[in-house]
Amino acid sequence: MISIERLSKAFDTARGTSHLALSDISLDVAGGEFVSILGPSGCGKSTLLYIVGGFVPPSSGAVRVQGAAVTGPGPDRGPVFQEFALFPWKTVLGNVMYGLLEQGAPKKIAEDRARALIEMVHLKGYENFYPKELSGGMKQRVAIARTLAYGPSILLMDEPFGALDAHTRTGMQHELLEIWERDRKTVLFVTHSVEEAVFLSDRVVVLTRSPGRIKEISRIDLPRPRRRAELLVDRRYQDYVVAIEKLMDDPAEVRA
Amino acid sequence: MTFTRRASEIAIGILPIALVIALWHAIAASGIAPAVLLPPPGAVFARLIEQAGSRQFLDNAAVTLYRLFAGFSIAVVVGVTLGVAATGSKAVEGIVKPLVRVLAPLPKVALYPAMILMLGFDDASKIALVVADAVFPILLATYQGTSAVDNKLVWSARAAGCTPRRALFTVVLMAALPSVLTGCRIGLIISCIVVFLAEMITSTDGLGYLLVRAGRNFETVDMFVPLISISILGLTLNAAFNALRKWLLRGFAEES
Amino acid sequence: MTRLTQIPGLPPLVAAAGLLAAWELAARVFDISGLPPAHAALRELPVILTDKESLLNILDSIRRMVVGFAFALVFAIPVGLMMGRSRLTAAFFNPLLMIIYPVPKAALMPIIMLWLGVGDASKTLVIFLGVSLPVIYHAYQGARAVEEKMLWSAAAMGMDARARLTRIVFPAALPEIMVGVRTGLVLALITMVTSEMIARKQGVGDILFNALAMAQYETVYATIVIIGLLGFVIDVGFERLRAHLVAWAEPAHEIAAVGST
């Protein structure tokens, strides 16, 4: 589905030097797979996601989606950002309808589909609210509905629950899995929380500190559908978390 | 609680205005200043009310308003377009930024004689001066606002299928609306002031001309009337613009 | 290309040269009598600048501007700071300032001339009024935004109210005050030129309209260039000073600096 080939990204710094953010990343993600990218802050994990999204060009290497090279954003890859990035001048309904109208859907059809999605993310009754009137968790639900609206086959999620409080966060994780179980989209999920990555993913990719390289890829063999309450007391879940935690604070890394 | 506080603040605010008018009245009544130099406030306000019903006065006010809005409208179109274009294109930015750097600190009123030479003594040169003065705050506010828009808003639109050029006007400009409208409000008050000054410098009609004509004939009462009119006009425009701004920005978070 | 634009001052220079070239070209192509070519106007520059009377006129204008500007700062900064720290003071002054705000200060010239004559006093007073308003406004905003906790610590250390105003509020509000001062500088120049255009007795504004009346178009344009240069030099000079004084603060917002005539 997604194939990332020998990807590197360097940024020009303000001082005129060049900073290597990502180095030699190669990764294949199968259709319907849920893959998390985990790493310390500043390891370029979000940048990797932006390159797959086509928002930022790579310095070298390439990304292919179903065989076609990525040259820019497209409705086959829908982003969800930590900052929600909702359009403040549009209502909840307007935000969710946006992508459908951009895709040329007739207004009536767009509205019906948007209303159905809003109901799916449990925001029925909030259609005419503006984003500023919603809590963080509600905003993120709108953002997810807005992205699902135009039917991307891949979801690119950039620390989507990073700005939410712990309680809302676990609730949103469950909701996300529910949605995912239903239509099994391919998901690339960036996070710095080990528990979140293990709980959600089929595979967890651990990146090193800058420049970001792939340090290890762990397959998470836990049965689905997953329930947080059950996993917390599951030995296998705990082992995954501990093993990946260990990888993350490997002392050999700290020199950077 | 807050209501009584607000009420007392309004009372305190009216106090200095009342004091100024009382002092003005006292000086005029005491005869320290002869009426030719300082007419009593009662005479001025009576004249203002009388003039507000006079055809000739209203015609002159209409001329001023026409020049004001013609100039302001052109300034909004030019300023917003250039500001957005400078954010959207490195080439436009490379041309506009240094030009603004050179032209913005230039007192535009100094260009007025050149405008008269090229456009004549009629409306055109006055409208041109209004445009020259109002366009810079609008252009700068638009440029700064649009270049500060979060990339992720644009990416969200681009992923939904919006073209870069369309995104510039339907997303970037919309997201920068608070800043753009601040620039427009400054531009509006400037237009109000500049049109009056231009009419004072050379004109045969308009509120500014009425002031100069009264000055020439030593009709002091008639000198105060246009001044008070322009103040009321400015306050009214400002209040109307604020109401419009509040409605347009109903989705945006509150700011000062 | 990217490297060239990074040399400070070069892009504006290129822009200025481009404007002159466009002017020269337009004058040649359209050939209107009201628009002499750029080189003809520039040739007038040394003539004006070496003519004793014109030079004295220009220096007189600058002197009035400096005096009016200096008085305005001395008056407006304390008023603005006090408004920012006391709700009562702010409530007292705000509506009055709001009424005065949309009145063009130079438009007061004819009335002030009735009272004070056509001399320096009238023009300096008008410049003083023009500069005061934005400086009060920005000093007010700056003082209002000062962190309450900073003042609490100062009070805890035993500073009295006056010392807190001069030693805490003033420096903390300085970046915002500087925005107001910059707007004030631009306004001082504008008010100076405009008031002279309206009073028509002496100064740069008078030179402009005299030349216009006598159809000396080259002189008109040369004087515009001189005023433009003056504006640019003041602006650049002030930016240097500001960068030096408040190096620790965010760069000034440019919108405010060109705002409000």
pLDDT digits (tens, 9 = 90+) for B186-213: 899 889 989 999 999 888 899 999 999 9
Question: Please, is C14 exposed, middle or buried when counting C-beta atoms within 10 Å of its C-beta (0-12, 13-18, 19+)?
Answer: middle
| Residues C23-54: tens digit of each pLDDT | 889 888 887 778 888 888 888 888 888 888 88
B170 interaction partners in chain A (CB closer than 8 Å): none
Nearest to A73 among B158, B174, B249 (CB): B158
The reported pLDDT for the residue numbered C107 is: 86
Average confidence score pLDDT of chain C: 83
If one counts every other C-beta atom within 10 angstroms of the C-beta of residue C240, the result is 10
B194 in contact with C, Cβ within 8 Å: yes
Binned at pLDDT 50, 70 and 90, residue A51 comes out as very high
Average confidence score pLDDT of chain B: 90
Output C194 or C3, whichever has higher pLDDT.
C194
Q: Which of B44-48, B144-148, C1-5 has the lowest mean pLDDT?
A: C1-5
Q: Look at residues C73, C54, C75, C55 and name the one whose alpha carbon lies nearest to residue C65.
A: C73
| Residues C214-227: tens digit of each pLDDT | 888 888 899 899 88
The reported pLDDT for the residue numbered C259 is: 38
B251 interaction partners in chain A (CB closer than 8 Å): 88-91, 130-132
| Residues A107-127: tens digit of each pLDDT | 999 999 999 999 999 999 999
The reported pLDDT for the residue numbered C1 is: 40
The reported pLDDT for the residue numbered C146 is: 85
Residue B255 reports pLDDT greater than 70: no
B160 Cα to chain C: minimum distance (Å): 33
C35 in contact with B, Cβ within 8 Å: yes
Question: Please, is A15 exposed, middle or buried when counting C-beta atoms within 10 Å of its C-beta (0-12, 13-18, 19+)?
Answer: exposed
Structure tokens at C166: 């001069």
Residue C238 C-alpha from the chain's centroid? 10
CATH 1.10.3720.10 describes domain C35-245:
yes
CB contact residues (below 8 A), chain B span 54-93, against chain C: none
C227 interaction partners in chain B (CB closer than 8 Å): 106-107, 110
Question: What percent of chain C is modeled with pLDDT above 90?
Answer: 14
> What is the crossing angle of helices B123-147 and B55-88, to 10°?
40
B97 in contact with C, Cβ within 8 Å: yes
pLDDT average, residue stretch A199-224? 91
Residue boundaries of the structural domains of chain C: 35-245
Q: Look at residues C182, C17, C164, C5 and name the one whose alpha carbon lies nearest to residue C84.
A: C164
C228 in contact with B, Cβ within 8 Å: yes
Q: Work out whether strand A2-12 and strand A60-65 pair parallel, antiparallel, or are unpaired.
A: antiparallel
pTM of the model as a whole: 0.87
B186 in contact with C, Cβ within 8 Å: yes
The CA distance from B35 to B40, in Å, is: 7
| Residues B39-49: tens digit of each pLDDT | 888 888 999 99
B105 interaction partners in chain C (CB closer than 8 Å): 186, 231-232, 234-235, 258
Q: Which of A138-147, B92-101, C74-83, C239-248 has the lowest mean pLDDT?
A: C239-248
C234 interaction partners in chain B (CB closer than 8 Å): 105
B91 Cβ contact list (under 8 Å, min separation 6): none
Contact (CB<8Å) B190/C234: no
Residue A254 reports pLDDT greater than 50: no
Q: Look at residues B149, B33, B26 and name the one whose alpha carbon lies nearest to residue B84.
A: B149
If one counts every other C-beta atom within 10 angstroms of the C-beta of residue B95, the result is 17
The reported pLDDT for the residue numbered B55 is: 92
Question: What percent of chain A is modeled with pLDDT above 70?
Answer: 97
